[in-house]
Chains A and B, each alone.
Chain A
Amino acid sequence: MIGNEETHDVERLLPPPIKRIVVDEQLQPTIVQPPVADPVAATGPSAGAVRAGARAHRRGTPGPERMTLDGLSVSYGTKRAVNEVSLPIRQGEVLALIGPSGCGKTTLLRTLNRLTELTPTARREGRILLDGQDVDELEVTALRRRVSMVFQQPNPFPMSIFDNVAYALREQAMKRPGKAAVEPQVIDALRRAGLYDEVKDDLSRPALRLSGGQQQRLCIARALAVRPEVLLMDEPCSALDPRSTAVIEELIQELRSELAIVIVTHNLQQAYRVGDHVAFMYLGDLVEYGRTEQVFAAPRAQRTRDYVGGAFG
């Protein structure tokens, strides 16, 4: 459990929205409603719930290690984007990658399911283990089914909602299954992504007619449909409004028990809200890795302190 001292320290450092969280003795956070209507907090109960639950889920013991990065380096031509990064990615928790633009966060994330291999100039060194097995030994399609990804821009395919979620299920089957065969899995995935209630009336609706936030949740449902073990999220909220962002953050917290989640974010508050561990990257180096509270409240490295402090500042 986190010591009270430390938590209060964090609170003092936090930016205005998070300052509204007051942690009581049992570590049960409650919300102090601000006098001025906040766009996030005012739009709905769930937005508030996200804030309230932001630090409530912390667990004392880390989960089992799912992926391990061991001296991972990635270069584009002669430019080194990621430099000798070693990290554990644990089941049942969220790892937030933070750092300024161009520091290699997204490259690191895309390396985990070998998407960087699509860039001809990209070269990788070091090992990535998934459940102890080197990812290079896996079939790349099998790897990507186990380590799925959600992108910065919501990218539902130009098909119906149903077909979007069923896409990967159908593609991984030897013989294209009919609608009835995949329907339970599609509905389950939509439920887990928290989208089902909003779209259940008409699953044949075009996915691109959904709002941005719904589209992003559809992309999450699409990724969940194949039952991945690790979910990679590349700034999943940067194209969304605060309301949708809150919904997605809430969703991330619900999903964390079933999967290991790695999220890249520019938004330090978001990293604080959803991350169990935070990795701060700068110019390709992993500067600091640790528990969220520790990285935000008592960063070890000067560069982390500057970045976190500057942003809080």
Chain B
Amino acid sequence: MLQRLRKPWPDQRAERTLGALASVVLVLIVLMIVFVASKAMPAFQHNGLSFFGSGGDVDRQIDAMVNTGAKPAPGDYTIGAWPLIYATLLTTALAVVGGLAFALLAAVFIVEFAPPSLRRVVVPVVRLLAAVPSVIYGLIGILVLVPLVNDHLISSGRKQSVQYVISLTGTGLLVAVVILVVMITPIMIAIIVDALYAVPKGWREGALALGVNRWRAMWTVSVRAARPAIIAAVVLACARALGEAIMLSMVSGSKGFAPNPIDGLTFIFEPLRPLAATIVEDADSINAPAMSATVYAFALLLLFSSLVLSLAGFLAKQPMKKYGIRV
């Protein structure tokens, strides 16, 4: 047997072996979705669509679930998870929009305008930043940014104005989004820089030779041609922002509260807690069946949203194929 494996592999065997490995991955994904869905079922069954709604204080509902017995009554499952879903969407969207704008400009600078000496330093540093564990960002956030925001940005008047609704302590939307941006931007920069380098040189030169300056040639030709990679970068960044748990648990304020834009500037200081952070914080009280089903339901939502993301990314790239952009 070993003797056979040591000989050079025929293509057929390589194909079958690798095919089997690839199928294992597929099977695992399907099993995982089925497993999580089956575990989450009771939470959806007992709540129906109101699971996604906002009813009552979500933190209090979760606390109540922890104390339910081994045979929970249907009412024990009651939860309106909207504040958590909203917090996830809000932090992800704001961070990705902000991060994308920054990443695009940074990538354009690195590829087109940075002097080579600077480029040689910046590109490896960006890749390094993309690999920093998120807990370190969380630590810096809670030790540096949160006190800074609390002491210098939130006035006591602002705190008092909402003291009967929510207490502002520095943790909240602003710090969460700022750190998320710092976390996801390097990944996007790295991907977009690679994509801009991969744009055929002839396109850029062709534009320049027509009397278009480098800045415009970059946007109208290179960035246009790199759109599929930009979409891939956005999908990856969204996935990272959606799934970020520890850091957000540290700096988001960890309150099942839905920050309201009509609060004006107070909005950005209001605490919140996204789904992933909720799962991390409640994982230890998962012994109660009602709680367990609810946490699995959160997990299913995250799983589902990453599926939707991949699909959306795929669909968004399709129209670009038409003009011969490599997708």
Q: Are A159 and B210 in contact (CB under 8 A)?
A: no
A-B CB proximity, top 8 nearest: A208-B324, A155-B202, A145-B211, A144-B211, A149-B209, A168-B210, A155-B206, A206-B323
Interface segment among B34-42, B216-224, B261-269, B309-317: the answer is B216-224
Is B73 interfacial (CB 8 A cutoff)?
no
Q: By the criterion CB–CB under 8 Å, are B324 and A209 in contact? A: yes
Known interface pairs A158-B224, A167-B220, A171-B220; A144-B205 also in contact (CB < 8 Å): no
B209 close to A226 (CB less than 8 A): no
- Contact in complex: A151, B324 (CB < 8 Å): no
Shortest A264–chain B CB gap in Å is 14
CB distance A222 to B210 under 8 Å? Answer: yes
Q: How large is the interface on A (under 10, 10 to 19, 20 to 34, 35 or more residues)?
A: 20 to 34
Report the separation of the CA atoms of residues A113 and B207 in the bound assembly, to the nearest whole angstrom.
13
- A153 in contact (CB, < 8 A): yes
Report whether A118 and B208 are in contact in the complex, using a CB–CB cutoff of 8 Å. yes
Whether the Cβ atoms of A158 and B209 lie closer than 8 Å is no
Contacts A145-B210, A171-B210 aside, 7 further interface pairs with beta carbons under 8 A come to A118-B208, A143-B211, A144-B208, A157-B225, A168-B211, A171-B207, A171-B212
Instruction: Answer whether A148 and B323 are a contact pair too, CB < 8 Å, given A155-B202, A155-B203, A171-B216.
Output: no
A141 at the interface (CB under 8 A from B): yes
Q: Is B322 engaged at the interface, CB distance under 8 Å to the other chain?
A: yes
B206 pairs with A219, CB closer than 8 A: yes
Chain B, residues 115-143, CB within 8 Å of chain A (1/0): the string is 01000000000000000000000000000
Give chain B's interface residues, CB within 8 Å of chain A.
116, 200, 202-203, 205-213, 216, 220-221, 224-225, 322-325
CB proximity of A143 to chain B, nearest CB, Å: 7
User: Smallest distance from the beta carbon of B140 to chain A beta carbons, Å?
Assistant: 37
Report whether A157 and B203 are in contact in the complex, using a CB–CB cutoff of 8 Å. Answer: yes
- Looking at B205, B208, B211, B323, the one whose CB has the most chain A CB atoms below 10 A away is B211
Residues of A within 8 A of B (CB): 113, 115, 118, 120, 140-146, 148-149, 151, 153, 155-160, 167-168, 171-172, 206-209, 219, 222-223, 226
Closest to B224 in A: A158
**Given known A115-B208, A118-B208, A206-B323, contact A155–B200 (CB-CB < 8 A):** yes
**Chain B, residue nearest A118 (CB):** B208
Most-contacted residue by chain A among B212, B322, B323 (CB, 10 A): B323
User: Which residue of chain A has the shortest Cβ distance to B202 in the bound complex?
Assistant: A155
Complex: A206 Cα to B325 Cα, angstroms: 10
Smallest CB gap from A145: residue in B? B211
Q: Enumerate chain B residues within 8 angstroms of A208, measured Cβ to Cβ.
A: 323-324
Min CB distance, A262 to chain B, in Å? Answer: 13
* 5 interchain pairs, CB-CB under 8 A: A115-B208, A168-B211, A171-B211, A206-B322, A226-B210
A10 to B322, CA, bound (A): 50
Q: Give B41 Cβ to nearest chain A Cβ, in Å.
A: 47
**A118, A158, A160, A226: most-surrounded residue (chain B CB, <10 A):** A158
How far in angstroms is the closest Cβ of chain B from A222?
A: 7
Q: Do B210 and A151 have beta carbons less than 8 Å apart?
A: no
Docked Cα-Cα span, A146 to B210, in Å, equals 9
Complex formed: what's the CA distance from A25 to B325 in Å? 55
**Which residues of the partner chain A approach B200 to less than 8 Å between Cβ atoms?**
155
Q: CA separation between A209 and B321, bound complex, in Å? A: 11
Instruction: State A222–B211 Cα separation when bound (angstroms).
Output: 12
B212 to chain A, nearest CB (A): 5
Q: Is the CB of B209 within 8 A of A115?
A: yes
Q: A151-B202, A151-B205, A151-B206 are in contact. Are A158 and B323 (CB under 8 A)?
A: yes
Q: Determine the distance from Cα of A120 to Cα of B117 in the docked complex, in whole angstroms.
A: 12
Contacts of B205 in A (CB 8 A): 115, 118, 151, 155
Q: How far is the CA of A141 from the CA of B213 in the complex (A)?
A: 6
A120 to B202, CA, bound (A): 17
Q: A153 touching B202 by the CB < 8 A rule? A: yes
Given known pairs A115-B205, A171-B216, A206-B323, the reply for A157 and B210 (CB within 8 Å) is no
Please determine whether B209 and A159 come into contact, CB atoms closer than 8 angstroms.
no
Instruction: Write out the residue numbers on chain A whose beta carbons fall within 8 Å of the beta carbon of B208.
Output: 115, 118, 144
CA distance A144 to B224 in the complex (A): 22
CA–CA, A140 and B216, complex, Å: 14
Evaluate contact between B203 and A148: CB separation under 8 angstroms: no
Given the complex, which residues of B lie within 8 Å of A113, measured CB to CB?
209
Our pick among B116, B210, B216, B322 for the contact of A148 (Cβ within 8 Å) is B210
For the complex formed, measure the closest distance between the CB of B224 and the CB atoms of chain A, giving whole angstroms: 7
